[in-house]
Amino acid sequence: MDVIDFVKMQGLGNDYIFIDTISNELSVTQLEQLQQPAKIAALCDRNFGVGGDGLVFISLEETGGETGDVFGMKMFNADGSEGRTCGNALRCIGHYLQKSQIAETKYMKIKTASGTVNLIAHEGDQIEVNMGSVELMSSPEPLLLEDVKEPCKENKRKLALVNLFTEYKNTQFSISTWS
């Protein structure tokens, strides 16, 4: 395979490998090869690859009459499965598009598997991401998060489940139910 430029960035500890398909003119065959789960897992391997929580492709999208810059994000988890979106990866994309002067304005729209997300670049390298409304999820029983690193009274903390329409396969923590 040919040499392909990539950028590795992190937002609040989520580190991703980003491939800019706007500047890298990749063929359909090259994209298909890069999107193979085994290839993604190898690239994301922290010991023998570049290392990262996943691989993200940045593309230029047709505007369809929309105003502002419209880009695409196709995200893969470190295991090679396709993800939907990630707020920290979106902030990195916004930063990259601004610094590389690909975005023509400070207002950007990023099309993801979860829908279109609006970004605004502010002074001081700050990127604002509108992830949409938080949806509270119901649970038949109260949920408690056991935190062994920072014990509190009876080592229990209340936990509210929310849905930001984001899927993570690499985040794990223990939840216990108490009556």
- Tell me the C-alpha distance between 160 and 177, whole Å: 12
> Can you read off the two tokens belonging to residue 9?
């960035």
Q: What is the pLDDT along the chain (179 residues), one digit of tens a residue?
A: 578 899 999 998 999 999 999 998 888 999 999 999 999 999 999 999 999 999 999 999 876 666 568 999 999 999 999 999 999 999 999 999 999 999 989 999 999 999 999 999 999 889 999 887 766 666 655 555 554 445 555 555 555 566 555 544 333 333 333 32
Closest Cα to residue 11, out of 59, 71, 56? 56
Q: Whose CA is closest to 16, among 34, 47, 43, 36?
A: 43
Global pTM value: 0.76
Cα–Cα distance, 94 to 105 (Å, whole number): 11
Structure tokens at 19: 């491939």
Q: Which domains are seen in the chain, by residue range?
A: 7-130 (3.10.310.10), 133-179 (no CATH)
